Amino acid sequence: MSDEKKRGPVNHVEEIKKRKDGLDVLNDILRYSKEGFDAIDPDDADLFKWYGLYQQRPKDGYFMMRVRVPGGILTSKQLRKLGEIANTYGRGLADLTTRQTLQFHWLTIENVPAIFDELASVDMSTVGACGDIPRNVVGCGTAGLDKDEIIDPRPYIKAVNEALFNNRELSNLPRKFKISISGCNRGLTQPEINCVGFVGALKDGEAGFDLRVGGGLSTQPYIAQRLEVFVPADKVVDVAVRIAELFRDCGYRERRSHARLKYLVADWGVEKFRKELEDRLGYALPDAAPDFSEPRDMRIDQIGVHPQKQEGLSYLAVSVVVGRTNGGQLIGVAELAKKYADSEIRLTTGQNFLIPNIPNGNLEALQAGLEEIGFNTNPSELQKGAVTCTGIQFCNLAIAETKDYTAQLIRDLEQEVPLDEPLRIHVNGCPNSCGQHHIAEIGLVGGQTKVGNERVEAFSICLGGGLGGEATFADPVLRRIPSGEVKDHLVRILKAYKEQRQDGENFRWFCKRHTREQLAAMLQGDEVPAAVEA
């Protein structure tokens, strides 16, 4: 089919964007804060996202607000302010996200200008945290700390953020646009599922970046493809901006569900994409380092204490149960980081946080302080790997509750089948994959099913996902299991894994070694059929 025929009439959001740029809705937000919720034009409400604002379920007057945190890096003063905002305006709630941002809930439109002012007082903003615009630039939580890092990504995260932030040339993209920048190849920034992933690489002794494009999850997941180029460090901003422009000009705008960069990359292929990019750059990029490779499995947040490359200093990564925290805890963490480290805190892609630059002599006191405010500094492997989306509590698209459900599920599994190795359990309230079920060893996707005459919440169980050099998405194995029965299914398969795993085999590769029918039998406690030869 020709490109013209593929392109039908543009969708409603495109019509709205033609009439008003998303960044121009600020004055309307300020006006509505005086006129009240009932005055809000639904088309303007769509554009509120450019300022990090979503109407919260059930659209009866409350908002969710996402705050942009480039690279997840915060000062103690900023974190304290976020805690105060949560307490003053958001019923104390604060959720950490997989893009190193922070979300408030229960905000009213009347309070939004004051919150913007409070954020601005600590040099923070919500601009571009949501909407069809470059989103928060993701970086490694361990940037600048890790002895194995190839290049410190922080200057590049900062520079790319500055080039994209509030940039009116890039405020009307076909859809959201996600960039990650990491200092090495071990996957903390999940380049495989970003629109653009810069991955620290060495070529002929020069530190720069390998480049992936076209990744993303949602209902149709794609692994980003390597462009087979080496991006010299001084070209990172140029490349990031040119790709954003390419997406703006060539991306699909007809169907929202088919507008992400991943579809353009899939249709064009990497050769055409590279050529178009180089034409726009005005120079050719060097070929990738021939020895570039990625570990088979990605690394996940390294929870706990780890020595830094700086002598005498450590970082402590702290697991936050399902990413949910509160204002009091944020203020507590801010104080502890100031007292026992160097006042810096970093949010991670695993919905956790990390305190860097702790003199080793302060570790014990810092851990005790964190325990006092409710963080378990020695959590189970199951807790470390749990991630959830917002779910039915606040999300308008949700079919199932996620946060409380997952916290309880983890507690139950810890009792019944304790594990001695990392395991990612990711839970979504619907198939949209904001909680990234595709990349987890165990991914649960919210839905509904009928039990007798009653409709109840249910989850489809997907198994065997993971990123890294051999990235694979989790396969759906059983569909719509009533939520109350999921735990027993998982206990059965995890017990089977513990009994039958091969030497050094993690749960992902155990799943990949079995057929879907065999995995279904293990989940259900049935006799496991023999594998059928292909």
Distance CA 464, CA 406 (A): 19
Of the pair 317, 389, the CB lying nearest ligand SF4 is at 389
Which listed range, 37-45, 342-350, 425-433, 514-522, lies at the site for ligand SF4 (CB under 6 A)?
A: 425-433
Taking alpha carbons only, the member of 391, 430, 326, 370 closest to residue 92 is: 326
Of the pair 126, 428, the CB lying nearest ligand SF4 is at 428
Distance CA 436, CA 525 (A): 27
Q: What angle do CA 462, 464, 467 make, to 5 degrees?
A: 115
Instruction: Say whether residue 432 binds ligand SF4 (CB under 6 A).
Output: yes
Taking every pair of C-alpha atoms in the chain, what is the biggest distance, in angstroms? Answer: 69
Which listed range, 208-216, 245-253, 409-417, 422-430, lies at the site for ligand SF4 (CB under 6 A)?
A: 422-430
Pairing of strands 324-326, 63-67: unpaired
Instruction: Say whether residue 430 binds ligand SF4 (CB under 6 A).
Output: yes
Of the pair 429, 465, the CB lying nearest ligand SF4 is at 429
Crossing angle of helices 112-121 and 26-35, rounded to 10° = 130
Instruction: Say whether residue 55 binds ligand SF4 (CB under 6 A).
Output: no
Of the pair 124, 445, the CB lying nearest ligand SF4 is at 445
Taking alpha carbons only, the member of 60, 105, 126, 139 closest to residue 349 is: 139
Classify burial at 346, counting beta carbons within 10 Å of its beta carbon; exposed 0-12, middle 13-18, buried 19 or more: buried
Instruction: Say whether residue 428 binds ligand SF4 (CB under 6 A).
Output: yes
Of the pair 432, 515, the CB lying nearest ligand SF4 is at 432
**Total number of residues binding ligand SF4 (CB under 6 A)?**
13
Of the pair 356, 435, the CB lying nearest ligand SF4 is at 435
Which listed range, 201-209, 426-434, 465-473, 481-489, lies at the site for ligand SF4 (CB under 6 A)?
A: 426-434
Distance CA 425, CA 438 (A): 10
Which listed range, 7-15, 123-131, 427-435, 497-505, lies at the site for ligand SF4 (CB under 6 A)?
A: 427-435
Least gap, CB of 165 to ligand SF4 (angstroms): 24
Residue type, 83: G
Least gap, CB of 435 to ligand SF4 (angstroms): 6
Instruction: Say whether residue 429 binds ligand SF4 (CB under 6 A).
Output: yes
CA distances, 511 to each of 84, 283, 516 (Å)? 45, 45, 8
Least gap, CB of 473 to ligand SF4 (angstroms): 15
Which listed range, 1-9, 116-124, 431-439, 523-531, lies at the site for ligand SF4 (CB under 6 A)?
A: 431-439
Of the pair 141, 429, the CB lying nearest ligand SF4 is at 429
Q: Mapping DSSP to helix (H, G, I), strand (E, B) and coil, where does residue 217 land? A: coil
Q: Mapping DSSP to helix (H, G, I), strand (E, B) and coil, where does residue 524 land? A: helix
Least gap, CB of 413 to ligand SF4 (angstroms): 21
Of the pair 261, 430, the CB lying nearest ligand SF4 is at 430
Of the pair 170, 430, the CB lying nearest ligand SF4 is at 430
Least gap, CB of 84 to ligand SF4 (angstroms): 26
Of the pair 346, 426, the CB lying nearest ligand SF4 is at 426
Distance CA 410, CA 272 (A): 45
CA distances, 4 to each of 13, 248, 254 (Å)? 20, 17, 11
Least gap, CB of 391 to ligand SF4 (angstroms): 5
Tokens at residue 419, please? 């594990």
Taking alpha carbons only, the member of 67, 132, 136, 62 closest to residue 99 is: 136
Distance CA 52, CA 85 (A): 15
Which listed range, 275-283, 363-371, 433-441, 507-515, lies at the site for ligand SF4 (CB under 6 A)?
A: 433-441
DSSP annotation string for 347-360: E-TTS-EEEEEEEG
Of the pair 343, 349, the CB lying nearest ligand SF4 is at 349
Least gap, CB of 400 to ligand SF4 (angstroms): 7
Least gap, CB of 323 to ligand SF4 (angstroms): 12
Which residues inside 362-401 make contact with ligand SF4, applying CB under 6 A?
A: 389-391, 395, 397-398
Least gap, CB of 103 to ligand SF4 (angstroms): 10
Instruction: Say whether residue 434 binds ligand SF4 (CB under 6 A).
Output: yes
Least gap, CB of 382 to ligand SF4 (angstroms): 21
Other Cβ atoms less than 10 A from the Cβ of 415: the count is 10
Distance CA 508, CA 442 (A): 8
Q: What are phi and psi of 100, to 5 degrees?
A: 60, 25
Of the pair 201, 398, the CB lying nearest ligand SF4 is at 398
Distance CA 51, CA 37 (A): 16
Distance CA 380, CA 320 (A): 12
Residue type, 477: V
Instruction: Say whether residue 64 binds ligand SF4 (CB under 6 A).
Output: no
Q: What does the binding site for ligand SF4 look like in residue numbers (CB under 6 A)?
A: 389-391, 395, 397-398, 428-430, 432-435
